[in-house]
Amino acid sequence: GAVVSQHPSWVICKSGTSVKIECRSLDFQATTMFWYRQFPKQSLMLMATSNEGSKATYEQGVEKDKFLINHASLTLSTLTVTSAHPEDSSFYICSASTIYSGLGTETQYFGPGTRLLVL
């Protein structure tokens, strides 16, 4: 149990275009989803937290107009990188937690990540 998927796993786009990344909880209802960014050989940096049906809460220094997050249902959150530039190239990871089931609300379950390369 507690499987989280991400799509796409790999995306290349041109500078100035927008890219959408989907994060889905496959076998549980994710009441909270998180988006992280990770550079090679570095740690995960939390970008934002979203609860189903409400606006995302962004961490300090994260541009909310550039990184649009939507959490429309208990199984889906999306991250849209708007007007992407080469410096947005990174590995983006989502995670999910839930207040339901016996998984434990304290644990985050991670998706496999999405590699974004902006040319």
CB of 35 to another protein, least distance (A): 12
Count CB atoms within 10 A of the CB of residue 118.
Answer: 20
113/1 Cα distance (integer angstroms): 18
At position 42, the amino acid (one-letter code) is Q
- Token readout for 96 is 């999910």
- Token readout for 102 is 């016996």
CB of 34 to another protein, least distance (A): 8
- Token readout for 31 is 């009441």
| Among positions 93, 96, 116, 118, the unique one binding another protein when judged by CB under 8 A | 93
Only segment of 17-25, 35-43, 70-78, 79-87 that touches another protein (CB under 8 A): 35-43
- Strands 44-51, 32-38: pairing is antiparallel
Please report the DSSP string for 94-106 in residue order.
Answer: EEEE-SSTTS-TT
Only segment of 22-30, 66-74, 78-86, 88-96 that touches another protein (CB under 8 A): 88-96
Only segment of 22-30, 63-71, 78-86, 87-95 that touches another protein (CB under 8 A): 87-95
Binding site for another protein (CB under 8 A): 32, 34, 38, 41-44, 46, 49, 91, 93, 95, 97, 104-110, 112-113
